[in-house]
Structure 1
């Protein structure tokens, strides 16, 4: 299955960009008061992209024989994924008031960015590796 690694990785990176871009767009639309950002078709598109993203991530773990609980940078990425999901839910739906939604939106984008930097660096510190590494 290792022979499919380049294709699986490319799909994973594409789904990361699609998922992050869709979240960023929906967050802006929510901030602008556009209700269609939370409409069923847009939500289902988000679910579909995120399901494909998770599937490609699990395939990469299987192909590379990696355990996210014993590989420090993957453990951080997994923990940040949970933070990102909670912040994103608050930003798009659960938080009361525009200011709170905006603050959670910015925090979710920061969590996404940090996850991306951890993945690129293959190190738990991500972009901060140069500061503390």
Structure 2
């Protein structure tokens, strides 16, 4: 179990960094009007990475037995994930305030990473 868990954590971390990198580059390119940022091949790759990240995260969650009421950092991280998804969709749209959506997405990404590292919904500040 320990080997499987450590490998799953490594894969989850690697996929998370891939997802963050893809969003930063693609989102920034989209903000500046680069047509390649909406290429179907790139979008498919982003979808694949995010799907594998989700499956891996749910597998970790199930193997460890976290509880959303007991492990509040995970609850906060999942709520931030929902907010990130909404803001990222907004950032990649045609709206007038898409730069704000992009910046909020980055802020929520940073929060999710901080919550995962500190295992605290307050990022260890309280």
TM-score by length of 2: 0.94
Structure number with the higher helix fraction is: 1
Match of 2:111 among 107, 111, 114: 114
CA deviations over 1:51-72 (Å, ceiling 9, x no partner): 1101110111122111335421
Structure 2 unaligned segments of length 5 or more: list them: none
Q: Which runs of 4+ in 1 moved over 2 A?
A: 67-70
Tell me the residue number matched to 1:20: 20
| CA shift for structure 1 position 8 | 0.3
CA deviations over 1:23-67 (Å, ceiling 9, x no partner): 111111111111111111111000000011011101111221113
How far apart in 1 are the matches of 2:78 and 2:69?
9
Tell me the residue number matched to 1:80: 80
Contact 1:84 1:112 in 2 (8 A): yes
How far apart in 2 are the matches of 1:67 and 1:15?
23
Structure 1 unaligned segments of length 5 or more: list them: none
Tell me the matched-pair count: 126
| CA shift for structure 1 position 18 | 0.5
3-state secondary structure, aligned to 1:124:
coil
Tell me the residue number matched to 1:105: 102
Tell me the residue number matched to 1:43: 43
| CA shift for structure 1 position 124 | 0.7
How far apart in 2 are the matches of 1:46 and 1:69?
31
Alpha-carbon RMSD across the aligned residues, in angstroms, is: 1.3
TM-score by length of 1: 0.89
